[in-house]
Amino acid sequence: MMGDDAQGSSTKEPELADVTPWGIKERLTLEKTAIGFYLSGHLFDEVAHEVRKFVRTSIEELQDNREVQTIAGIVTDYRVITGQRGKLALFKLDDKSKVIEASADEGVIAASGPIKEDDFVVVAGRLQLDRFSGGLRVKVLQISDLAAARAKYAKYLRVAVRENLPDVAALVREFPPRVEETDHGEILRRGLKVRFDMKIDSDRGAAVAELSLGEASSFFPSDAALAAWGSMAGSGAVSVVYDHG
């Protein structure tokens, strides 16, 4: 006869909980917290497919010239120092192809809002020769997050409509265009317009039409806003359209 201890023991593995898999950023952030570096990938992987539609030059491919250039990357080694001309943000941009040193004065940082380690940013700036490394560095003139970059570079949001129309007015109220004032006092509305791709089935067959909603449909294309459009329109029905892809 087996004792209580024998009856209570078991070699059966416990059942695993059914949970949503981690996204790329969450998984990599936890890896960095646990072991100090990214083990299974790169944070740029999460945005690379979309970003390369409007920032087509990688950091490795940059060439020095006098033109303002657009660079995308993940912020690393971010710090702020105080100099004779005020505060200066120093950081690196990493797009997996290469890392470049960057600097931005406090006016640029104030205009963009705070940035932090591991943020994805798109910067406009001028390349300079780094006297210490012999390579290039970038003096940043403007910083945008991904949502602001979508508003700037994308053409429109394509929404495939099959049955129910999304509540455009409600979505615009929840995610209104971002209003900015330029150095010259000009007011800019940063938003993304919407185009419906409509397919209507009838006894005579299917009819397909495109409907551009105009400025009244413009909204600020944050990740939360895109998720809200997708929730109303259905899975896979929403996509941001750029000039190239």
Q: What is the pLDDT of residues 198-223, one digit of tens each?
A: 876 666 666 777 889 988 899 999 99
Please identify which residue in the block is written with the tokens 């449909």.
Answer: 217
Q: What is the CATH number of domain 43-144?
A: 2.40.50.140
Question: Residue 46 gets which letter from DSSP?
Answer: G
Nearest CA to 102 out of 114, 89, 83, 85 is that of 89
Pairing type for strands 156-161 and 136-144 reads unpaired
Contacts of 243 (CB under 8 A, 6+ apart): 53, 54, 155
The confidence score (pLDDT) of residue 40 equals: 52
Is it the case that residue 102 has pLDDT exceeding 80?
yes
Average pLDDT, integer, range 33-48: 70
Average pLDDT, integer, range 153-179: 92
Rounded-to-integer distance, Cα 109 and Cα 199, Å:
45
Rounded-to-integer distance, Cα 104 and Cα 125, Å:
9
Rounded-to-integer distance, Cα 136 and Cα 140, Å:
13
Please identify which residue in the block is written with the tokens 């990688």.
Answer: 58
pTM of the model: 0.78
Residues of the chain within CATH 2.40.50.140 domain(s) are 43-144
> Cα-atom radius of gyration of the chain, to the nearest Å?
24
Positive or negative: CA dihedral 165, 170, 173, 176: negative
